[in-house]
Structure 1
Amino acid sequence: MFAVSSIAVAQAKTVWVDDQLYLPVRSGAGSQFRIIENAVPSGTPLEVIEASDSGYTLVRTPKGTEGWVSSQYLSETPIAADRLRTANRQLEETRAELAQVKEQLSNVVTERNALESSEASLSDRSQELQEELQRIKSIAADSINLERRNRELREENQKIRNDLEVLTAENERLEASKEYDFMLLGAGLVLGGVLLALIIPMLKPTRKTDNWA
């Protein structure tokens, strides 16, 4: 219960009408004074203007009425019903905040899972790129080897062509020499034939004339 001071309150404070009451506000500090505001319900906050040792306190109601009420029905704390409503409201606010935190946590978990999935995809893509790079390097190496082999083949082909040209020239020379030899042989045979034609008649014995006939 509210303890009433015997001196005026230096600074205004708030008190509440106690549980399950409808407190009348009177024009003076006593039950003999007329009621100027009737049935202030329990839980109503009242601003203390002055306290006295008469058992009454001068207050100001939410409607702005200034009057005296019995101090024994005042409390320095809100009534249990108000405290319960406040506690329930705070509980609902806490539940709402908890639901919001859970939703934020769910979003964070979803984002984390998405990031992990994206990281896995990036890792797979990186592996694919590494394999593709290795394949390109292998192709490039094969291309270099192929180019070197082609160059070697071209050089060998050119060498074969050079050798073929030399052999062709040598063959032509031999053919020309062979024809020349045939010509010499033919000329020799002709000359030999002529000589034989001249010599053979000279080698035949001449017949003597038979003078005894």
Structure 2
Amino acid sequence: MTALRLIACTLILLAAGASAQARTMYVDDTLSITMRSGEGTQFRILKSDLTSGTRLDLVRASDSGYSLVRTPDGVEGWVLSRYLTDSPIARDRLVRANRELEDARKQLAELRQELAETKAERDTLASSESSLESRTQNLSSELAQIKEISANALSLDRRNSELQEENQRLRNDVEVLTAEKERLETKSESDFMLLGAGLVLLGIILALIIPLLKPSKKADNWA
């Protein structure tokens, strides 16, 4: 069992070393080639359907014109070296080129879409900038109007204060004139009462004097 294990480990290591040293090769532009168990047509055919573009791992090349290769599914065999190439065949290169071209077209479409979106954003920003400029102008005009109104308000406030002071002065004058009028009215009433009293007194005096001025009957008789 130990010997078998040792042999198995040796084979695994050899296979791993061969796999590490293997180089990727491709079946050349030939319709199909045959893989055999040895270096010659007399050996058994392992695969007869290795078509153009099949990827193979080159294990070892021989001077006999054959190369030991491994298929993707792990089968090892010998094929003619002249049917191998170290680069993909034209068909595969064309497929890859078409795929790369399609990717490039997709990237171009995406870039065009991004460019269109960028232009739309630029137009939107330009419109926003124009709107902001218009708004700024409107705000500047409104600010000028507010300043003018504020100046007018200050002027009106000063005028209002002046009018209030003038009104107060007029009220004071009215109060003075009212007091003077009341004083004059009181004086007129007093003078009228004095005049009335004087007339009454004069009437009393006349009433006393007039009888004295009349001639008496005795005096008439003497005459």
Q: Into which bin does the TM-score normalised by the smaller protein fall? A: 0.7 to 0.9
**Equivalent of residue 119 in structure 2, options 109, 132, 140:** 109
Greater mean alpha carbon deviation, residues 183-192 or residues 50-59: 183-192
Counterpart of 1:156 in structure 2 is 166
Match of 1:64 in 2: 74
Alignment partner, residue 76 of structure 1: 86
**More displaced stretch, 125-134 vs 17-26:** 125-134
CA distance in 2, matches of 1:161, 1:10: 120
The residue that corresponds to 2:144 in the other structure is: 134
Identity %: 56
Hey, what does 1:91 align to over in structure 2?
A: 101
3-state DSSP of counterpart to 2:159: helix
Q: CA deviation at 1:190?
A: 5.8
31, 43, 47: which one aligns with 2:41? 31
Aligned counterparts of 2:25 and 2:36: Cα–Cα separation in 1: 17
Asked if residue 145 in structure 1 is aligned to residue 155 in structure 2, the reply is: yes
Question: 1:78-130, CA deviations, whole angstroms, 9 ceiling, x for partnerless residues?
Answer: 11111111111100011111111111222222222222222333333333333
Q: Which structure's residues are more often helix, by fraction?
A: 2
SS in 2 for 1:131: helix
Runs of at least 5 residues in structure 2 that lack an aligned partner in the other structure: 1-17
Number of paired residues?
A: 202
Q: Distance in 2 between matches of 1:114 and 1:95?
A: 28
- Aligned letter for 2:157? E
The whole-number CA distance in structure 1 between the counterparts of 2:157 and 2:19 is 108
In structure 1, stretches of 5+ residues that fail to align are 1-7
**2:119 counterpart SS class:** helix
TM-score, normalised to structure 1, is 0.78
Which one of 52, 57, 60 corresponds to residue 42 of structure 1? Answer: 52
Q: Provide the alpha-carbon RMSD of the alignment.
A: 3.1
Greater relative contact order (Cα < 8 A, sep 6+): 1
Give the AA of the match of 2:184.
L
User: Which moves more between the two structures, 120-129 or 44-53?
Assistant: 120-129
Confirm or deny that 1:55 pairs with 2:54.
no
> Does 2:180 correspond to 1:170?
yes
1:188-207 pair list within 5 angstroms: 198=209
3-state SS of paired residue (2:21) = coil
Q: Which amino acid aligns with 1:160?
A: L
Q: Is the 8 A contact 1:9 1:50 kept in 2?
A: no
Matches of 2:150 and 2:131, distance apart in 1: 28
